[in-house]
Homo-oligomer: A and B are copies of this chain.
Amino acid sequence: MRENGRNGAERDKQRHERDEYYMRLALREAEAAMAEGEVPVGAVIVQGDRLLAAAHNQREQLRDPTAHAEMIAITQAAAARNDWRLEGCTLYVTLEPCPMCAGAIVQARIARVVYGARDPKAGACESLYRLVNDPRLNHRAELRGGVLAEEAAELLRRFFRERR
């Protein structure tokens, strides 16, 4: 029992380190968005140890309202796998997904979502809706929020401060 407990704690620690590692990549994408004058949000998609996608918000540059970081990453990952089903994949994103992106996560059957900062105004994983684990929909994702949340929130605050 004691051994199991110790192994469980070790596994949790490894998972948390892994989550922080990939969230740092997502934060790097958010910084790239910032440098391009876009709202700084970044996302990566991972399957096992394979990085399938890394993207950032490009709404202004692409003049496309659907060009959120998560949407671009999902399209990239599906292209990398040559399959629209992203079963077994984890999506890391610096900001809680909006309804569009949370809906896309369900459509893509992504297994796990890890996000950074909460979005009280439009978040659709926990804040306004719980779209990624609605038992009425045909897929549910495991969810973890708050990973490197302060770094993600600080980038957003800096962006909106500089814009004023």
* Residues of A in contact with B (beta carbons under 8 Å apart): 59-60, 62-68, 71, 74-75, 78-79, 82-86, 98-104, 106-109, 121-122, 124, 128-129, 131, 134, 136-138
Contact = CB atoms under 8 A, between A and B. Distances in A.
A70 B99 CA distance: 15
Given A103-B98, A103-B103, A124-B103, A84 B64 contact: yes
- Each complex incorporates copies of this chain amounting to 2
A138 B121 contact: yes
A65 to B, nearest CB: 4
Interface of A is mostly: loop
Nearest to A120: B136
Given A84-B59, A121-B138, A131-B99, A78 B104 contact: no
17 contacts: A62-B84, A63-B79, A63-B84, A64-B74, A64-B84, A65-B74, A65-B85, A65-B104, A65-B108, A66-B74, A66-B107, A99-B106, A100-B103, A103-B103, A121-B138, A122-B137, A122-B138
